[in-house]
Amino acid sequence: MTSAASPRVGIVMGSDSDWPTMEAAATALKEFDIAYEADVVSAHRMPDEMLAYGRDAHGRGLEVIIAGAGGAAHLPGMLAAVTPLPVIGVPVPLKHLDGMDSLLSIVQMPAGVPVATVSIGNARNAGLLAVRILAAGDAALTERMIAFQADLADAARAKGEKVRN
């Protein structure tokens, strides 16, 4: 799965079973017209490809990696170990342990190897964080993020209206 232009964000996950969770990251990127690619790159089942993906990502022109995995979720951390790019980790909730296992696997990175971890299952925030990272060097994209935030505030105010009346 890849959007038409050269991808700026790589969305990877440990299994296709993660896609129903991870798709929200792609949706957020589409809302901001950010080109992305999406693929399965399992840290445990295809470690060589996973390392190659991480090592090649910067050279291929990617600017941010969003990595989601469930259970023993080593994918985001291992990618962060071999790429200079910012890596955003998405803890995918599985049937057991409600995603706490995924969260703890992803969030407790050793000093020097950061992974920006979003809340359990919150791939939308991963997509939005990737947009903010890209917007740091892009005034037009920053303006779009500001407009998005204004819309969020309007929607929250409208909810208050409903409660008050």
Contacts to ligand RP5 by CB under 6 A: 13-15, 17-18, 42, 44, 69-71, 92, 94
Residue 18 annotated in ligand binding: yes
CB of 73 to ligand RP5, least distance (A): 6
Assess contact for 77 and 22: CB atoms under 8 A.
no
Assess contact for 124 and 25: CB atoms under 8 A.
yes
Question: At how many degrees (to 10) do helices 75-82 and 47-57 cross?
Answer: 50
Smaller CB distance to ligand RP5: residue 94 or 118? 94
Residue 102 annotated in ligand binding: no
CB of 128 to ligand RP5, least distance (A): 21
Assess contact for 106 and 69: CB atoms under 8 A.
yes
CB of 69 to ligand RP5, least distance (A): 4
Contacts of 113 (CB under 8 A, 6+ apart): 77, 80, 81
Residue 162 φ/ψ, nearest 5 degrees = -60, -40
Smaller CB distance to ligand RP5: residue 16 or 154? 16
CB of 156 to ligand RP5, least distance (A): 32
Q: How far apart are the first and last CA of the chain?
A: 45
Smaller CB distance to ligand RP5: residue 78 or 134? 78
Smaller CB distance to ligand RP5: residue 108 or 149? 108
Can you say which residues are annotated as belonging to the binding site for substrate? 15, 18, 45
Can you say which residues are annotated as belonging to the binding site? 15, 18, 45
